[in-house]
Chains A and B, each alone.
Chain A
């Protein structure tokens, strides 16, 4: 038995009792407390897997905690926010629109009112095979502002935002492309804030902050508001502060076209073109920048079915990128150790829900395998302690700090409901991972599910 112990890695031995896996080794057997792999292979393998999963979860928990502490006590970086006066470069703003008659006018109006020099700004609404009045609304604006708006009406071709943008990018003027979804309403000074970082020639992509405009619509939107707050106010800004890997999110942001070209061009065969370009830029020596003060409203899903579709699309797209680039990213010569670790954790983030689900099953299985042993009764206490301190605490801590930094407080009372949202995402993402595997095996095309808009139809031709 001692030989068996010596054969196990030290970390496994140390962590096993902590995560409650010890009972798996500690079935009431005649030879002693701990069974061998040889005698109890199923329990031993299950326990080992559980150890790995818990180690991974702990890493993510620590990461959340460090990010939050950085926002509380770290040095905050906003290096380009002061650039208010400059010889601004020529830019093209793309508005991705597919059946967006409810919102497209608001976005175009906002861009026409921006303080970016009009002679340095070209607006291209990308009307991607819309079946509603989107095209007519765009054309009505083109008629009024022919020098400022150049429409791109796409009537056929591959479906999806990334494919539409890929086609539209050929019509860009200048080296900077700023991209908005049609439901976004950029503020007057937003374009300058998003373009300013591109004065740094190392910057390949810039991301602003997305703020839900319909946060008060129902419980779901209120929960998503809390999540978004944590994701941007803490996660993205901490990555920026720590010089890690802020993520370009595909909207309220922009890319340097020469950089995109240098890293292989815009990919239209992915559901997450934003993640795709973020990682390719990073492992080829470019940087992404997050500007927390460049805020813009968006709509978040008001129905669970829409939310599940959205999360599923993110998960599939993200995991696609993970499968493609994880090794190139891990072995890139351009990254610091911190960027490499953060990037890999980010890359694998949409596998975690599935792993967590597997972990729960393993823990449950191990519990029943050990029913009756003394230590099995201690499992809940260990589980509660570890969950409370590392898992639960870190994520909730992040949300709380983000919301407080935003100047809100009472909405935090809704925090327990986020557990519900977390559970839904857990199963949706796990399903997406499984679906992605089937897509690969059965060589199925991935389908772009557009997020529904809720804003009332606007008077486009007022």
Chain B
């Protein structure tokens, strides 16, 4: 009886010991003969520049053309001078065009294309990646699948699709019903260029203070906090920044000289202006003719009404949200980043 008890205890102890020591076998092996000990890589030169890929293609093409330092990635084919009959789909290497390209019929290129000069392509053209040292103009229903960059202007006709990154040195113009993800240029114009300019807001704003708003708490000399919803009355000027834990409504023609944050949503009325950043955890509505200096950031959706202007020509900014819907006639200076869907809506 006694020996059986001892046996049980011994077996139990051995099983426990085995369970505890078994995981140490690979542990000791990894310690003594390391196979995975490098520090997590962090690129010292990492930035989120939108034209990262464009600059790389430009560098490779310049090297191929003898206009830049070697990069080691100079495998290109040249587009024939009479490009009209080019079989774009059969290209196996990246392509370089040594002069401007203009094709009234569609170009459907599966390989990245580098154009020295302007590129104009007919309706329903498709490109994987595209760089032009001049302007890019793609007619209706054209698609860009990876990225495109023009040192001048990028114009995309109606019902286009601009996936991933589109950047331009001067401006980007997207036609109505175009889908986009990430855009960057000194000026971004959405919708048709001939849309009538809405009348400017007629009111004259008067000085007002956050301190007069219900339940306002002064956090710093230039910041007020309001718990719950808040409505800034129309035709007022508020100085300083404001945090609202509920929904913030900025009345028509009201100007805020500071940053605003509202957790549950923001509505910028017709002709309202925010000379600072607008951040929100939910949806942001920017009604027609409203202006925000930016950045304009939502963790949900942003809807920008006709004639609204975000950013300044000499102070570009960022507009970022999961979904961004922009109406005809909107101008944004800087970057737009729609994580899921961006769309230009006809007014």
Contact = CB atoms under 8 A, between A and B. Distances in A.
A188 B47 contact: yes
A215 B227 CA distance: 45
Contacts of A416: 23-24, 27
A340 B142 CA distance: 52
A199 B279 contact: yes
Given A86-B295, A87-B317, A188-B46, A199 B277 contact: yes
A80 B34 CA distance: 38
Contacts of B43: 187
A213 B37 CA distance: 10
B95 interface: no
Contacts of A61: none
4 tightest A-B contacts by CB? A216-B37, A189-B47, A410-B36, A82-B320
Most buried by B among A77, A413, A416: A413
A212 B30 CA distance: 19
Interface string B38-65: 1110111111111000000000000000
Nearest to A193: B48
A86 B299 contact: no
A415 interface: yes
B31 A86 contact: no
Contact of A200 (B27, B48, B50, B279): B279
Given A87-B293, A189-B47, A200-B277, A219 B315 contact: no
Interface stretch (B114-122, B155-163, B255-263): B255-263
A413 B29 contact: yes
Interface stretch (A140-148, A257-265, A302-310, A351-359): A257-265
Interface residues of B, number: 55
Interface string A165-204: 0000000000000000000010111001000100111100
B27 A417 contact: yes
A214 B37 CA distance: 9
Nearest to A114: B47
Interface of A: 77, 79-87, 110, 115, 185, 187-189, 192, 196, 199-202, 211-216, 219, 222, 225, 229, 258-259, 261-262, 284-286, 295-297, 334, 406, 408-411, 413-417
B299 A77 contact: yes
A295 B40 CA distance: 10
Interface in B250-299: 258-261, 277, 279, 281, 293-295, 297, 299
A192 B315 CA distance: 16
Given A84-B335, A199-B259, A414 B31 contact: yes
Contacts of B39: 211-216, 225, 297
Contacts of A408: 36, 40
B176 interface: no
B220 A215 contact: no
Contacts of B223: 201, 258
Interface string B124-136: 0000000000000
B195 interface: no
Contacts of A82: 48, 297, 318, 320, 335, 337
Contacts of A192: 47
A410 B26 CA distance: 10
B261 A202 contact: yes
Given A84-B49, A202-B261, A215-B37, A413 B317 contact: no
A390 B221 CA distance: 48
A294 to B, nearest CB: 10
B242 A219 contact: no
Most buried by B among A79, A214, A406: A79
A200 B279 CA distance: 6
Contacts of B36: 408-411
B220 A200 contact: no
B50 A84 contact: yes
Given A79-B281, A81-B48, 18 more contacts: A80-B297, A82-B297, A82-B337, A83-B320, A187-B42, A189-B46, A196-B295, A199-B259, A200-B277, A215-B38, A216-B34, A225-B39, A285-B219, A297-B39, A408-B36, A410-B30, A411-B37, A416-B24
Contacts of B227: 334
B220 A261 contact: yes
Interface in B172-189: 184
B217 interface: yes
Contact of A86 (B38, B47, B241, B318): B318
A270 B153 CA distance: 56
A417 B31 contact: yes
A201 B42 contact: no
